[in-house]
Amino acid sequence: MHSAQFAVTLGLGLSGISVADAAAAPHVRDVGAITALSDNDLAANTTTRTTNGILLTPSNFETAAQRCLTLNEELWSPSASNFSLGLDNALSFTAFNSADNGSTTYWISSPDHPESCNAISVDGTVVQQPCTTTAPGLCTNSGPLTQANETFPKPELQVTVQSGKQNITGYRDFYTFQFRGIRFSPTVERFGYASLYEGEGDVDALSWGPGCLQAPEARWPLLDEDCHFLNVWTPYLSPNPTEPTERKKLKAVIIWITGGGNTAGTGTDWEKEGGNLASRGDIVVVSINYRLGNLGFLPFQDGVHNGNYAISDMYTALEWVYKNIENFGGDPERITIWGNSAGAVNVRSLLAIPQAEEMIAGAIMQSGPAETGPDSTPGVRYEAPSFYTNRTEEILSESGCLDTPDPVSCLRDFDASKWWTETDRSPQFNFAVRDNVYLFTRGLPLSGPLAHSHNIPVMYGFLRDEWGYLFPESSNFTASLEYAEAGFKFPLLQLVNSSFSPERDPSWANFTEAEKKKAVFDATSFLSTAAIFKCLPHAFAYSAVKNNVFDAVYEYQFNRTYQPTRWTDLTRIQCGRDNPNPDQIDYYKCHGGEVPYNFGNIAQQGWPERDGYDMPFARLIVDAWSAFVRTGKAGVPEDGYLEARGYLESKAKLEEAGAWTGTSDEAMRLQWTGIGPYSTDEYKIGCDELDMSEDYYETVDFSGDD
């Protein structure tokens, strides 16, 4: 049974991606460049910043009015909405981005006058000027405020852009223009490699494409092996992006590569919709799908099907963005790739692909596990496919394909859904290999003769407690290490008397049983975070800076998190989901809990503000991350940017934080109260005991053996 059949059994199935009536929407070539204007405080449907608009390119009054009508809108009127509730900061930012420095007036609704028409200045003053004057137009925007997983692609909100030989129709909401379910690769047979899709005709990009085959989940109900789709959120569209004056207006781009252990996750996860980040950050956000588990990574030994099918998906999506994103208002010369957990590991893989270098201007890796586990060699991330022969044969055997004449064909006919639904099977193959097509070295070279400058900045960091919640309670540190060693398939028992041990505390004998359990839990959490998420990522930063592999590596530690509502067991309590005062009452900062802040989607998901700082912190993180995307400097927006946008709260907090260096000797502690840099010297004792010192990669041989 193939995946399309699997989708049907779920009551789903593939709807047509191309539709004949997509071109009925207004085309951006007929209205000129358009910008979604708003003042996004990330408060979603509780916002008080309720006045928005659409900015048009300069024209006379009559043309501006007609362009608004073409968009199914009208010229904005001060009698219909309050200028000071959003347009004030939006036009201030427009002036900041313009050479006129605020002197421009904007056409607005006007009574019939033979010669004079109404316009509004940046400060909200309504003036009259000759109707034949050339000025930007200011339309209404009736796109709604939406909550998570809501969509309103009404015909009157749709807009079409040309990309290559395709006319792609998306729609607008209150904050952005969005295009969902854009195909980036033709349909690929199982264990085949993605290639750039260059279609023709009219395309409906109004709904998500299916996610790649995996275990069904409410966040991605539509699944199929034909899953090569991406999504775009943008505040700006231009019909002539290659013209010099228009190219200067293109926005920096960020591509989200989801985590999920490379066995779960899609680019359609409503927890990670990109509209708030695009709107408040003034960037273009792209999310992508890629194949998962055995379907994405299983290598065969035939020299043809070498694994890395998912890597080909990610590379092809990056290539599509590089070649097409200018048609969606994005700057192809400023593309940042970004991932969390397995997504961060995949970002690192993309950085190691030689042919991808020219397409990447920056990278963000959040909570990316290091080279630990049963299939890892110290310092080596990519082994040759032959290294994993036993793993491949084990999966073939379980699937009844080991002793067949053509194992690939046999496995193509296998019901792949069983890899997720049957629990007695071997773990799926979920990591990249050195195939000498995409990946040629044993890892991203950080030292030695293969290391070279990529001429881009990088962010790399972790959460304070990461996977600590996975450990059961125990008052015996040795037993806790045994459990961790068995789970992570990584030697840890030698650390029983190390600095990690709580039993070295002089007061240990006087601890109550409850105090011992907490001390052991904390110690094991701290150790596992160091071993998997902290020590080798810091060693990455050390060698990358020392050997000029990257221009800067901005390290950080999140010390404030907000876990999703799907955390419902004891971990919900441990990880502080319902903590009424997370700024003052300590809790475990668990894996993935920073991502809601990254996307600014807390209120959009209907989550409560816990202590008055969740929303300010979300605004701060969106402002810091988007600054990196635009400028290449973490937490350093352009001079005057925050003031022009009215983001004074974030400005004050970033000034309080101080300089965020990218030199590996300091990292930034990200929390509301007490934000600021700290010395990475504090890593050294524990990391040295783990044999993961900061010079770890200095002696690694990154060359391949083929």
Question: How far apart are alpha carbons 351 and 107 in whole angstroms?
Answer: 46
CA angle 311, 317, 323 (to 5 degrees): 135
Question: How far apart are alpha carbons 18 and 6 in whole angstroms?
Answer: 22
Number of domains in the chain: 3
Q: Which of 393, 421, 449 is the last residue of a domain?
A: 421
Question: How far apart are alpha carbons 25 and 80 in whole angstroms?
Answer: 26
Instruction: Please state the rounded mean pLDDT for residues 15-26.
Output: 50
Alpha carbon 253 to its chain centroid, in Å, reads: 11
| DSSP, res 107 | E
Kindly tell me if the per-residue pLDDT of 9 is higher than 70. no
User: Residue 141 has which token pair?
Assistant: 């925007």
Question: How far apart are alpha carbons 559 and 307 in whole angstroms?
Answer: 37
Percent of the chain with pLDDT over 90: 88
User: Residue 261 has which token pair?
Assistant: 């252990």
Instruction: Please state the rounded mean pLDDT for residues 369-396.
Output: 85
pLDDT band at 15 (very low <50, low <70, confident <90, very high): very low
Question: Exposed, middle or buried, 341 (CB in 10 Å: 0-12/13-18/19+)?
Answer: buried
Residue 439 resides in a domain: no
Q: What residues form DSSP beta bridges with 34? A: 56, 237
Predicted confidence (pLDDT) per residue in 244-266, tens digit = 888 899 999 999 999 999 999 99
Q: Which residues of 550-589 are buried (b: 16+ CB within 10 A; e: fewer)?
A: bbbbbbbbbbbbbbbeebeeebbebbbbebeebbeeebbb
Rg of the chain over Cα atoms, rounded to whole angstroms, equals: 26
Query: Could you tell me if 389 and 476 lie in one domain?
Result: no
Q: Which of 139, 161, 192 is the last residue of a domain?
A: 139
Give one word for 172, left, alpha or beta, with left for phi > 0 and alpha for psi -120 to 50.
Answer: beta
Query: Could you tell me if 365 and 308 lie in one domain?
Result: yes
Query: Could you tell me if 175 and 99 lie in one domain?
Result: no
Q: What residues form DSSP beta bridges with 201? A: 166
CB atoms within 10 A of CB 133: 15
On average, the pLDDT of the chain sits at: 93
User: Residue 130 has which token pair?
Assistant: 């000759």
Query: Could you tell me if 352 and 237 lie in one domain?
Result: yes
Query: Could you tell me if 99 and 159 lie in one domain?
Result: no
Question: How far apart are alpha carbons 286 and 239 in whole angstroms?
Answer: 19
Beta-carbon-side half-sphere exposure of residue 28 (alpha carbons within 13 Å): 27
What per-residue confidence (pLDDT) applies to 101? 65
Predicted confidence (pLDDT) per residue in 358-381, tens digit = 999 999 999 998 887 666 676 788
pLDDT band at 4 (very low <50, low <70, confident <90, very high): very low
CB atoms within 10 A of CB 176: 28
Predicted confidence (pLDDT) per residue in 172-231, tens digit = 999 999 999 999 999 999 999 999 999 999 999 999 999 999 999 999 999 999 999 999
Kindly tell me if the per-residue pLDDT of 3 is higher than 50. no
Asked if residue 238 lies in contact with residue 27, where contact means CB atoms within 8 angstroms, the answer is: no
What per-residue confidence (pLDDT) applies to 27? 97
What per-residue confidence (pLDDT) applies to 621? 98
- The boundaries of the domain holding residue 358 are 3-17+150-421
**Pairing state of beta strands 229-234 and 200-204?**
unpaired
Least confident of 98-102, 149-153, 217-221, 279-283: 98-102
Query: Could you tell me if 247 and 217 lie in one domain?
Result: yes
Tokens 């998906």 belong to residue = 313
Query: Could you tell me if 244 and 187 lie in one domain?
Result: yes
Query: Could you tell me if 110 and 166 lie in one domain?
Result: no
Which CATH number characterizes residue 94's domain? 3.10.100.10
Least confident of 104-118, 131-145, 246-260, 382-396: 104-118
pTM for this one?
0.95
What per-residue confidence (pLDDT) applies to 11? 30
Predicted confidence (pLDDT) per residue in 596-635, tens digit = 999 999 999 999 999 999 999 999 999 999 999 999 999 9
Which CATH number characterizes residue 298's domain? 3.40.50.1820
Asked if residue 469 lies in contact with residue 575, where contact means CB atoms within 8 angstroms, the answer is: yes
Predicted confidence (pLDDT) per residue in 507-536, tens digit = 999 999 999 999 999 999 999 999 999 999
Instruction: Please name the residues in contact with 475: beta carbons below 8 A apart, sequence gap of 6 or more.
Output: 513, 516, 517, 520
Asked if residue 159 lies in contact with residue 71, where contact means CB atoms within 8 angstroms, the answer is: yes
What per-residue confidence (pLDDT) applies to 373? 62
Tokens 């990109």 belong to residue = 274
Question: How far apart are alpha carbons 151 and 257 in whole angstroms?
Answer: 22
Query: Could you tell me if 178 and 211 lie in one domain?
Result: yes
Kindly tell me if the per-residue pLDDT of 19 is higher than 70. no
Instruction: Please name the residues in contact with 473: beta carbons below 8 A apart, sequence gap of 6 or more.
Output: 517, 520, 521
Kindly tell me if the per-residue pLDDT of 16 is higher than 80. no
Query: Could you tell me if 474 and 599 lie in one domain?
Result: yes
Query: Could you tell me if 481 and 405 lie in one domain?
Result: no
Beta-carbon-side half-sphere exposure of residue 449 (alpha carbons within 13 Å): 2
User: Residue 7 has which token pair?
Assistant: 């989708």
Alpha helices in 352-434 (DSSP H): 389-398, 407-412, 418-421
Beta-carbon-side half-sphere exposure of residue 678 (alpha carbons within 13 Å): 13
Q: What length does the chain have? A: 706
Query: Could you tell me if 510 and 644 lie in one domain?
Result: yes
Please provide the DSSP assignment of 211-244 as one string.
Answer: BPSSS-BTTB--B-S---EEEEEESEE-S-TTSH
Residue type, 368: G
Q: Which of 86, 105, 139 is the last residue of a domain?
A: 139
Instruction: Please name the residues in contact with 288: beta carbons below 8 A apart, sequence gap of 6 or more.
Output: 184, 229, 230, 231, 255, 256, 257, 267, 313, 314, 317
Task: Please state, in angstroms and as integers, the Cα–Cα distance from residue 314 to each residue in 209, 490, 500, following that order.
Answer: 16, 29, 38
